[in-house]
Structure 1
């Protein structure tokens, strides 16, 4: 089973080494590593080119894009693997064996998608956990309760992107939530919860960077919920309140 892992970068020199090393050091070796750069002006491309000369599994290009979701869509279009996942440039895989565990879950459970847990970590001290996003096995009723798997932990069969499409670029912050609702509401698909931390994510993402972004995300979340017919404002309320327990050790 070939796994395509996609990383979108833009001026990511301070974090790209940790991100890429976490992918390149995996115990599972049938990995296609796709890096889509938005035209970085710092040393990001220099490091990618250096690594690409040593690792033939790296496929990369650099050109202007319309933001991270556009970059991820470009990566999906390039992907030739059986399974597709993402490691954002500020993030890194939690363990060297985690892709092997994900592949084993696909094979043993005969599912269409696998997801796990996520740690939000401090920007400088990556050993300090700020938020612990522990997920749970999927049940369809969870969608109306504002539930979603942590998107960076979600690995899906490539055929799902071919059938259901990629990220809707009309969403600036919540395209991943819209996509997850679109996929998880399909009654014919099966998903497996891997009870392990898959990804460590540095705090400071676009969705919670400012009050303006939080308000925009709330509006986009509501729109995604209505478009996908999985609830309303109560869903938004439960979705936001449920995050509070992630800050409790």
Structure 2
């Protein structure tokens, strides 16, 4: 089974080398490809890409991240797809466990996991401990998975590509629609993805002012949604989602592979520690 990592990219030299290194390390021994869709970078990114013979890359203007994603997936040849941004990394243990599920159960459409959050210097901030399979209604009040910790079969994208009319929330719209179509999910306990919080994140720099809404048609104050929230939180509590347990992960920092173990990880978003 071939796995395709797809990475939208624009002026990404700050973090891109570590992202590429993490993919190579996490997938060593697997049949995979790394497809990069660059939007016409001018910061040295193209020179870096040109020096990576194992990357499938192309640099050309695009209409934003989701158009770049669609371009990358359309060029990809793998049965399973992973969307990894240029400031994110893969954790080998979680990624390997997720790929094993795809190989053992052809009926599974997607696999997700908890997500490690680090700051711009690679320091641990929190564990986004996603440990319960969401229901369709859970996508009607929040995005219950992180894109860097979600892998999916190509057939899902072929049913519906990313909606390029959005700049920031098309991944939520896409996941919601896939769930409404009956996407079958599985979960692994080890983190698949490592997400970097920093001032240049699109979600940080534009998310509060964009006005985009993946749930514009949903009455989020309805009793139906309130009950769904309570049910989800109860299920998460029963599954240990609010209990801090040790987390181990591997990440690259300035070209060096590091192994970290956090005995009692913070599980709550700490906005003051996002990093710069």
TM-score by length of 1: 0.82
2:61 is paired with a residue of what secondary structure? coil
2:208 pairs with 1:214: yes
- Aligned partner (choices 113, 126, 132) of residue 131 of structure 1: 126
Report deviation, 1:59: 0.8
Alpha-carbon distance between aligned partners in 2 of 1:144 and 1:9, rounded to the nearest angstrom: 29
Contact 1:28–1:100 (CA<8 Å) still a contact in 2? no
Contact 1:9–1:37 (CA<8 Å) still a contact in 2? yes
Alpha-carbon distance between aligned partners in 2 of 1:199 and 1:112, rounded to the nearest angstrom: 18
1:120-158 deviations in whole A, cap 9, x for unaligned?
21112x1x2223211123242433453521111111110
Matching of residues 60-209 of structure 1 within 5 Å: 60-95=57-92, 97-110=93-106, 111-124=108-121, 126=122, 128-140=123-135, 141-163=137-159, 165-187=160-182, 189-204=183-198, 205-209=201-205
2:17 pairs with 1:10: no
Report deviation, 1:20: 0.2
Which has more helix, going by share of residues? 1
Report deviation, 1:246: 2.8
2:253 pairs with 1:246: no
Alpha-carbon distance between aligned partners in 2 of 1:147 and 1:50, rounded to the nearest angstrom: 36
Residue number in structure 1 paired with 2:260: none
Contact 1:115–1:149 (CA<8 Å) still a contact in 2? yes
Contact 1:36–1:74 (CA<8 Å) still a contact in 2? yes
Alpha-carbon distance between aligned partners in 1 of 2:89 and 2:78, rounded to the nearest angstrom: 20
Alpha-carbon distance between aligned partners in 2 of 1:221 and 1:24, rounded to the nearest angstrom: 33
Relative to 1, partners in 2 of residues 1:86 and 1:122: Cα closer, same or farther, differing over 3 Å? same
Report deviation, 1:173: 1.1
1:65 is paired with a residue of what secondary structure? coil
Residue number in structure 1 paired with 2:248: none
1:153-185 deviations in whole A, cap 9, x for unaligned?
11111011112x211112121111000100112
Contact 1:109–1:192 (CA<8 Å) still a contact in 2? no
- Taking only aligned residues, the RMSD between alpha carbons, in angstroms, comes to 2.6
1:137 is paired with a residue of what secondary structure? coil
Listed as ranges, the gaps of 5+ residues in structure 1 are: none
Report deviation, 1:215: 4.5
Contact 1:173–1:220 (CA<8 Å) still a contact in 2? no
Listed as ranges, the gaps of 5+ residues in structure 2 are: 234-265, 271-276
Report deviation, 1:83: 0.5
